[in-house]
């Protein structure tokens, strides 16, 4: 029987955030949740399922259990028959019907995270068909060289043209989602060999063929996401994070979102925090987490970013996804809840056997993985 009364301490990071401050941030996300359960970027702005699920995870960690449950119910209710969700929904109106693979995959991470915290098998049983459809959609979009196609357009007849560009950051997040999905499949006794094979091919592409992904290197996400998603570990991860440190990190403030813009963003900084933590660089992870707190308001909300040298917050909004990244980073740093290893990969299925197909590689180098 599921332990529906399971509880956990709300995280605190000594010297940076108290448990009450983290709870206030979770409450700020709940306050922006729509009556349908959707978690938009900000009131009246768009909802996409990736940031929505991240919001649900943070709500749960921060003690907003009922709001998190409503968020997951929204996922089940709005999923399309092919396993995807519209890329952009604004107050129940679809603005971009395209199905994005990275967004659709992330539900697996959220459902596994929910299981780790709540131990609610009934919830897992309800959500498993939703996760299975989502990851089947994603795996069906794998490219011959191992990356995952970015998205599929929709028209009046349904799914249409596939955008066959592979995104490095998106595919890195999908790698984590496949490991979460395989963990769920083992829990429910419904093995998914196709996901494991896809994960092996994807892992090889992320470690050895970054040049085949669409070049988005001006964005900091393309820098750290292979580490955050778990595909790159060990010395390769250390070298990767060092390679662009001076390009993106602004001392005392956080990291840039885009290299050419003097704009520090909180969500990306917190994702770098979790990437650093994942490779054992706890000191710099804590430093970056403290550095981005200048974006915090007294009520627990977080500004999206800060522009310099003007020294102004921009855009003029506090966003749920920034608040959510703060909460998840606080949990990772403090090792507080049973889900705090979700980004380190401690609780996910093991790394997949590397598979190199149609890429010209004679062998797959397994040294890049630290098991």
pLDDT digits (tens, 9 = 90+) for 224-277: 999 999 999 999 999 999 999 999 999 999 999 999 999 999 999 999 999 999
Question: Is 324:331 a contact under the CB 8 Å cutoff?
Answer: no
Question: Is 85:79 a contact under the CB 8 Å cutoff?
Answer: yes
Give the Cβ contact number of residue 317 at 10 Å: 16
Lowest mean pLDDT among 99-113, 122-136, 157-171: 157-171
Q: Where are the domains of the chain?
A: 19-368
What pLDDT is recorded for position 102? Answer: 98
How many residues are recorded in the chain?
371
pLDDT digits (tens, 9 = 90+) for 168-222: 999 999 999 999 999 999 999 999 999 999 999 999 999 999 999 999 999 999 9
Q: Which residue is associated with the tokens 């990969």? A: 345
pLDDT band at 358 (very low <50, low <70, confident <90, very high): low
Report in angstroms the alpha-carbon separations of 137 from 159, 231, 285. 11, 21, 34
pLDDT band at 95 (very low <50, low <70, confident <90, very high): very high
Q: What is the spatial distance between Cα 319 and Cα 95, in angstroms, rounded to a whole number? A: 19
Give the Cβ contact number of residue 298 at 10 Å: 7
Question: Is 36:74 a contact under the CB 8 Å cutoff?
Answer: yes
Query: Is a pLDDT exceeding 60 seen at residue 367?
Result: no
Q: Which residue is associated with the tokens 């401690």? A: 346
**For the whole prediction, is pTM greater than 0.85?**
yes
The set of residues, in sequence order, having a beta carbon less than 8 Å from that of 233 and lying 6+ positions away, is 227, 278, 279, 368, 369, 370
- Helix H or strand E segment including 159: strand 158-166
- Reference 153, options 222, 77, 88, 75; nearest CA is 88
Q: What is the spatial distance between Cα 29 and Cα 322, in angstroms, rounded to a whole number? A: 10
What pLDDT is recorded for position 7? Answer: 86
The set of residues, in sequence order, having a beta carbon less than 8 Å from that of 319 and lying 6+ positions away, is 41, 42, 267, 302, 303, 304
Q: Which has more confidence, 158 or 298?
A: 298
pLDDT digits (tens, 9 = 90+) for 288-315: 999 999 999 999 999 999 999 999 999 9
Query: Is a pLDDT exceeding 60 seen at residue 362?
Result: no
Q: Which residue is associated with the tokens 């007849």? A: 157
Q: Which fold has domain 19-368?
A: Glycosyltransferase (1.50.10)
Question: Is 175:229 a contact under the CB 8 Å cutoff?
Answer: yes
- Helix H or strand E segment including 88: strand 86-90
Lowest mean pLDDT among 76-90, 103-117, 162-176, 350-364: 350-364
Average pLDDT, the chain: 95
| DSSP 8-state class, residue 53 | H
pLDDT band at 1 (very low <50, low <70, confident <90, very high): very low
């Amino acid at each position: 029987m599921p332990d529906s009364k399971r509880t956990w301490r709300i995280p605190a990071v000594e010297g940076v955030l108290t448990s009450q401050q983290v709870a206030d941030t979770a409450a700020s996300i709940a306050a922006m949740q729509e009556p349908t359960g959707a978690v938009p970027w900000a009131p009246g702005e768009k909802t996409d399922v990736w940031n929505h699920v991240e919001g649900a995870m943070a709500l749960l960690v921060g003690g907003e259990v009922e709001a998190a449950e409503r968020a997951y119910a929204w996922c089940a209710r709005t999923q399309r028959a092919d396993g995807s969700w519209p890329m952009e929904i604004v107050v129940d109106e679809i603005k971009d019907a395209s199905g994005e693979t990275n967004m659709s995959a992330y539900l697996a991470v959220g459902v596994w995270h929910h299981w780790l915290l709540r131990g609610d098998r009934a919830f897992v049983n309800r959500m498993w068909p939703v996760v299975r459809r989502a990851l089947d959609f994603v795996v069906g979009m794998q490219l011959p060289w191992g990356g995952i196609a970015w998205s599929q357009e929709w028209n009046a007849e349904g799914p249409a043209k596939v955008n066959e560009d592979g995104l490095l950051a998106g595919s890195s997040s999908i790698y984590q989602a496949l490991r979460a999905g395989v963990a769920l499949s083992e829990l429910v006794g419904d093995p998914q060999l196709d996901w494991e094979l896809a994960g092996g091919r994807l892992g090889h592409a992320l470690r050895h063929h970054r040049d085949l992904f669409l070049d988005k290197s001006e964005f900091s996400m393309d820098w750290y996401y292979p580490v955050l998603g778990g595909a790159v570990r060990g010395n390769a991860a250390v070298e990767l994070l060092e390679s662009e440190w001076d390009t993106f990190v602004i001392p005392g403030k956080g990291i840039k979102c885009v290299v050419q813009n003097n704009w520090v963003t909180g969500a990306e900084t917190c994702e770098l925090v979790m990437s650093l933590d994942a490779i054992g660089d706890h000191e710099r992870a804590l430093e970056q987490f403290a550095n981005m707190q200048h974006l915090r308001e007294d009520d627990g909300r977080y500004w999206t970013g800060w522009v310099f040298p003007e020294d102004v917050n921009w855009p003029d909004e506090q966003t749920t996804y920034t608040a959510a990244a703060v909460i998840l980073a606080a949990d990772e740093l403090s090792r507080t809840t049973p889900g705090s290893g979700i980004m380190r990969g401690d609780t996910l299925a093991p790394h997949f056997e590397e598979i190199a197909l149609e890429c010209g590689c004679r062998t797959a180098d397994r040294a890049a993985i630290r098991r």
